Structure 1
């Protein structure tokens, strides 16, 4: 029996970097948590402990911080910043064959002042995290944008009935319910010459508008409707992957107190919860490889 070294990768996880742009008024700010992973010619490190080809993870952290200044306008959008970092590691470090950069971007809003947005005072939005994964093998770069923790809820236009029933089924069918979820979505671009901020805003608007306006018979159906609308709106998006946990709201029985409850008072329960995942893609969507999507986002 022979023992061989399989797939390996390593990197620096979760370097938190904040960049302030002071080149004009009002100031701009970006807030990124950046993770770097590389693969390549690192066999000797594992087999013999020879570190001659080992790029230190500390150097990766330093690169992230330095590129937050050196990459200029590319830093303003997480996709272009991730692409610049990935290209650096593949192009400038000979033993790196493939680089994957993941960024969580936290939005900040301007504080109001005198009825106007303040030019250099901000509050963290906190409602969702913008995500990016860029992989680069020296020949092709794949850009996957996304969102995490986007909590959405609608108080009606959601039904769930006609489902398969067996001896353990106790859920009652309903023609009117609260539907809520915390959206994690990732979408693959086929073009890297993109106005990333505009594209991201359009996806969020399409996703949110579809969720709000779609009369749903199941969260799975709404998942498909959101993906279909995103790709139809932006044909350069080839694939959308969703992870949608149910945020259950159960009608509270107030009859013991002589009170009628007409879909007005609910108990919000955090677990256990249904967990719906699915992919909507063009039939000619390219294969970006096994690690283009962030597996930590539910895939």
Structure 2
């Protein structure tokens, strides 16, 4: 039996960087969590402990801070591309860079000064970039997570398989709620106007969720992904993860009360987990884009 080293990568995870742009008395805040993974000619560090090919993860962290100061932070996709291209171009032993960024949104407090902020809910904007260096393949995946949405009506679920373990009753009126994780791949990395594209894709997701009379969460998922692709030609693939946040009608008869779809128990687990991909079948295949 031959034992060999398989695929590997290393990097610096969860570097938190906050950048403040001071425009007189009005400040602008960007709050990021940056993850870096590098791969390339790394056999010897694993096999013999020779670190000659290794850029320390501490240096990767410092690069994030230095680039935030030297270049500022615009769109997170652009910042991720800047970092990925730097690592692959600057170090001959590094053949591939993966940079993943989460951005936490802050809003200016209207009644405060220009430098007072409040966190904008739980939703997180995301970006994932892969780069093989100068002249090599690149991919850019934008997205969001923790986007909680709910329709209080306009959702049904019936006609499903019934077996000896089925207790769920069909319904033609239910609460449909989910916490959306969405990622979408750009057709031409480096050419998108990422800020406008993100805002438009998010709008498409919300409009499709609100406007779809749902017979299943799967149908809603497909409608949301389809809407993004129909309206945003720069996007070629959308992947969605949507847990079904169940809301069960509470039986109030023991208390002498009726319950005409007004009072629900929101259960956090167990939950149905719906996942799917909607894509332009002519889109270029980039397997690394999602990992």
Q: Is the 2:192–2:234 Cα contact (8 Å) retained in structure 1?
A: no
Give the corresponding residue for 2:38: 38
2:211 pairs with one of 210, 213, 233: 213
> In the TM superposition, what is the alpha-carbon distance from 1:77 to its structure 2 partner?
1.1
Match of residue 279 from structure 2:
281
Q: How far off is 1:245 after superposition? A: 0.5
Quick check: 2:12–2:35 contact (8 Å CA) kept in 1?
yes
Distance in 1 separating the partners of 2:230 and 2:181:
19
What CA deviation, in whole Å up to 9, does each residue of 1:232-283 have, x standing for no partner?
0101101000111111100000011110000000000000000000000001
Aligned to 1:259: 257
1:25 Cα deviation from its structure 2 partner: 5.4
Distance of 1:209 and 1:133 partners within structure 2: 25
TM-score for both structures, normalised by structure 2: 0.97
Unpaired runs of 5+ residues, structure 1, are 295-299
2:181 equivalent in structure 1: 184
Shift of 1:53: 1.1
Query: How big is each residue's C-alpha offset from its partner over 1:52-86, in whole Å with a ceiling of 9 and x where there is no partner?
Result: 111100001101111111223xx121110000000
Which residue does the alignment assign to 2:75?
A: 77
* Ranges in structure 2 where 5+ consecutive residues have no aligned partner: none
Aligned to 2:101: 103
**Separation in 1, partners of 2:243, 2:25:** 41
Note if 1:153 corresponds to 2:179: no
Deviation, structure 1 residue 126: 2.5
Rounded to whole Å, the distance in 2 between the matches of 1:28 and 1:91 is 31
SS at match of 2:80: helix
Matched, 1:89 2:84: no
Q: How far apart are 1:26 and its partner, in Å?
A: 2.7
Q: Which aligned runs of 4 or more in structure 1 are off by greater than 4 angstroms?
A: none
Counterpart for residue 54 of structure 2: 54
Residues in 2 aligned to 1:195 and 1:204: alpha-carbon distance in whole angstroms? 14
Q: 2:195 aligns to what?
A: 197
* Matching residue within 221, 226, 229 for 1:228: 226
Normalised to the residue count of structure 1, the TM-score between the two structures is: 0.94
Alpha-carbon distance between aligned partners in 2 of 1:16 and 1:69, rounded to the nearest angstrom: 14
1:140 aligned residue: 137
How far is the alpha carbon of 1:28 from its aligned partner?
A: 1.0
Query: Residue in 2 aligned with 1:3?
Result: 3
Query: 2 CA distance for matches of 1:242 and 1:256?
Result: 41
- The answer on 1:120 being equivalent to 2:115 is yes
Q: CA RMSD in A?
A: 1.1
Deviations 1:104-160 (A, max 9, x none): 10011110127xxx4221111123000100000121221000101000001000000
Q: 1:175 aligns with which of 172, 175, 188?
A: 172
